[in-house]
């Protein structure tokens, strides 16, 4: 089942305005930009449970919602990481379906 999971990480070489339809609102409200350093440090992958734990250099994650062009910013949990699960067709964050993620940094 896990082998059929789609890629989790955004392709950040795209034009930023094409990643999220609400990009201007996101950067205006949260004062973040995409992190140009190494995008993600996948600190743990549990194949049997289709989970990934991701830690960014700064504790901000840009999340693109499943089948949507809308994005949101999330802060890391108390461990300083983000947890994602895959059901074989799409990724979820705290039970909500997402398409992709990328690390953010405070401006």
- Provide the pLDDT for residue 98: 96
Distance CA 4, CA 15 (A): 27
Residue 37 in tokens: 């350093």
C-alpha–C-alpha distance, residues 15 and 82, integer Å: 25
pLDDT of residue 105: 81
Q: Which residues pair with 92 in a beta bridge?
A: 85, 97
> What digits encode the pLDDT tens for the residues 16-61?
677 889 988 887 777 777 766 555 445 555 555 788 888 888 888 8
Number of other CB atoms surrounding residue 88 within 10 Å = 11
Residues 91 and 5 sit within 8 Å (Cβ to Cβ): yes
pLDDT at position 67 is 92
Q: 61-79, pLDDT tens digit by residue?
A: 889 999 999 999 998 888 7
pLDDT of residue 83: 87
């Amino acid at each position: 089942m896990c082998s059929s999971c789609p890629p989790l990480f955004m392709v950040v070489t795209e034009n930023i305005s094409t990643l999220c339809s609400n990009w201007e609102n996101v950067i205006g409200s949260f004062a973040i930009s995409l992190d140009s350093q190494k995008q993600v440090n996948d600190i743990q992958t549990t194949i049997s449970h289709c989970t990934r734990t991701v830690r960014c250099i700064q504790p901000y994650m840009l999340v693109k919602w499943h089948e949507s062009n809308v994005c949101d910013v999330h802060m890391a949990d108390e461990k300083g990481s983000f947890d994602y699960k895959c059901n074989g067709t799409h990724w979820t964050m705290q039970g909500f379906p997402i398409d992709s993620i990328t690390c953010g940094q405070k401006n």
